[in-house]
A and B are shown apart, each in its own frame.
Chain A
């Protein structure tokens, strides 16, 4: 059979894998909703959790579709669809694919339009094996780690609560820091232009864009909190995060135009 990166058979195979992954999510959803009913959790709480999670997911999921589109130029649509539906992320997959291509003495861009089945397999194997850690490590570790946390909880409840918050704050602080990573362009540029190690140029103020976007989203979130408190708009609670995220992203459009991408 003659190979091409968008052969219908590839879509069929990827469709099967994606269906299994979808089935796992549905299985766990049903299992946890049943358990919630059994232990007498309020129905409204469950319903709200489902609606909020679904709405919140839309914008990040669209950004994953964009990642599929950008990878599809060299790899076809099926493989990026698979890799980004199961485990992957754009930055990981792009690096893995280009490392596999350079193993064949090529660049990923060289393969556009003339990918052989062998090259495709080489790339698919490198991408799959490189990313495959958590999927088998969680079955080995999750029970032990969760068990450890439960015994912490029994020993010192207050510390256990603080520990949980510390985990979340630690993660969030790393991302807050990341938002500021290009700020130094402000003082490392010449004549308003910053040149990075690869020779790419950016406006010196471009590092401010993520910072201001974060501030905009934080302000919207704080406003939502204020409206909930002052006007009693409790329903807003479920939509505050997606609203602040989408408005923050929308603010990025004029901010980028103003401060240079």
Chain B
């Protein structure tokens, strides 16, 4: 018998949201439990004043950025992809490019059910591979440290983001030239001439870029240029 909710059929998407909510809240509780359990095992209490000071210095900005990032990335990641990505992290440098590349290769639209499935599969696989590689890295940290921290390889890993966005950018920009030209130019000018914009603030500029591009897209769409 099909489950009926608000007189509407209970869809696959409804089940993604239900399962995602259960999983995310479970992980959240377990994450919070980690310091509690460590405290009980080692019979220790945190320095509450320092927790307060540390949070005051960190949380307001992170939370503000976190709220904006969540709203910005949900439409790009799809439903299943969002629940997974906001648990496993590394969204802009890994999960989202991975999903974008998968959607592009499979030639499906992000908003279609096929798109939802493809992006969820890509993000789930990426999360599993990341977690497993980190486990291997942690297990082999002693022999790996000299190799991975070597001065020879350092420049390569320092430049991962430019290399990633070079490959991804050329595909998306060339396919959407009219749409991309204004936001790319704006971001170039801002990042070159505003000293405060750097690796630490690029996360804040993503929503700015997205909002600007949507507004610009709306204008040129209305004018019939697209």
Extra contacts, 16 of them, besides A20-B30, A143-B79 (Cβ < 8 A), are A21-B27, A57-B94, A58-B133, A69-B141, A124-B34, A128-B35, A130-B59, A130-B62, A136-B24, A145-B74, A167-B75, A167-B76, A176-B173, A241-B167, A248-B163, A252-B163
The reply to whether the CB of A64 lies closer than 8 angstroms to some CB of chain B is yes
Q: Are A31 and B98 in contact (CB under 8 A)?
A: no
Which single member of A60, A101, A238 contacts B164 (CB below 8 Å)?
A: A60
Select one of A16, A28, A125, A177 contacting B190, CB under 8 A: A177
Q: Are A169 and B47 in contact (CB under 8 A)?
A: no
A174-B35 contact in complex given A25-B128, A122-B47, A249-B156, C-beta closer than 8 Å? no
5 contacts between A and B (CB under 8 A): A1-B41, A87-B87, A104-B50, A165-B176, A178-B205
Contacts of B52 in A (CB 8 A): 103
A231 located at the interface, meaning its Cβ lies under 8 Å from any Cβ of chain B in the complex: no
- How many residues belonging to B are interface residues under a CB distance threshold of 8 Å? 159
Q: Which residues of A contact B89 (CB under 8 A)?
A: 84, 86-89, 131
Report, nearest first, the 5 A-B pairs whose CB atoms are least far apart.
A177-B187, A248-B163, A133-B66, A217-B166, A65-B137
Residue ID in chain B nearest A224 by CB atoms: B167
Question: Which residues of B sit under 8 angstroms from A77, Cβ to Cβ?
Answer: 138, 141
Query: In the complex, what's the smallest C-beta–C-beta distance from B221 to chain A, in angstroms?
Result: 6
In the bound complex, CA of A60 to CA of B127 (Å): 11
A245 to chain B, nearest CB (A): 5
Given contacts A36-B121, A169-B179, A256-B155, is CB(A218)–CB(B160) below 8 Å?
no
Distance from A153 Cβ to chain B, minimum over Cβ atoms (Å): 5
Name the one of B43, B109, B169, B183 contacting A218, with C-beta atoms under 8 angstroms.
Answer: B169
- Rounded to whole Å, the gap between the CB of A219 and the closest CB of chain B is 8
Q: Are B87 and A135 within 8 A (Cβ)?
A: yes
A141 within 8 A of B: yes
Closest to A38 in B: B12
Do B70 and A166 touch across chains, with their CB atoms under 8 A apart? no
Q: Which of B178-213 contact A (CB under 8 A)?
A: 179-180, 183-184, 186-188, 190-193, 195, 197-200, 202, 205-206, 208-213
Q: Chain A contacts of B133 at CB under 8 A?
A: 57-58, 61-62, 64-65
Known: A18-B131, A32-B120, A53-B125. A245 touches B160 (CB 8 A): yes
Q: In this complex, what residue of B is CB-closest to A152?
A: B111
Contact of B57 among A28, A62, A66, A103 (CB under 8 A): A103
Q: Which residue of B has the minimal Cβ distance to A3?
A: B42
A35 within 8 A of B: yes
Asked if B35 and A135 sit within 8 Å, CB to CB, the answer is no
- The answer on a CB contact under 8 Å between A217 and B23 is no
Please measure, in the bound complex, the distance between the C-alpha atom of A168 and the C-alpha atom of B149, giving whole angstroms.
33
A241 touches B101 (CB 8 A): yes
Is the Cβ of A103 less than 8 Å from the Cβ of B87? Answer: no
Closest CB of chain B to A212's CB: distance in Å? 9
Contact in complex: B156, A135 (CB < 8 Å): no
Known contacts A86-B27, A165-B179, A178-B191; decide if A64 and B80 are in contact (CB<8 Å). Answer: no
Neighbouring B residues of A64 by C-beta, 8 Å: 90, 130, 133-134, 137
- Verify B166–A248 contact, CB threshold 8 A: yes
Give every chain B residue within 8 A of A105 (Cβ-Cβ): 50
Cα(A247)–Cα(B113), bound, Å: 34
Measured CA separation A145–B73 after assembly (Å): 10
A227 at the interface (CB under 8 A from B): no
Question: From A143, which residue of chain B is reached at the shortest CB distance?
Answer: B17
In the bound complex, CA of A176 to CA of B73 (Å): 18
A11 and B215 alpha carbons, distance in the complex (Å) = 48
Q: Is A189 an interface residue (CB 8 A)?
A: no
- Chain A residues, Cβ within 8 Å of B98: 53, 56-57
- Separation of A176 and B193 alpha carbons in the complex (Å): 14
* Any B CB within 8 A of the CB of A202: no
- B152 contacts partner chain A, Cβ-Cβ < 8 Å: yes
A179-B161 in contact given A68-B138, A138-B70, A139-B83 (Cβ < 8 Å)? yes
Residues of B55-111 contacting chain A, CB below 8 A = 55, 57-59, 62-63, 66-67, 69-76, 78-80, 82-90, 92-94, 96-98, 100-102, 105-106, 109-111
Q: Is the CB of B167 within 8 A of A169?
A: no
Which residues of A in the span 144-192 have a Cβ within 8 Å of any Cβ on B? 145-146, 149-150, 153, 158-184
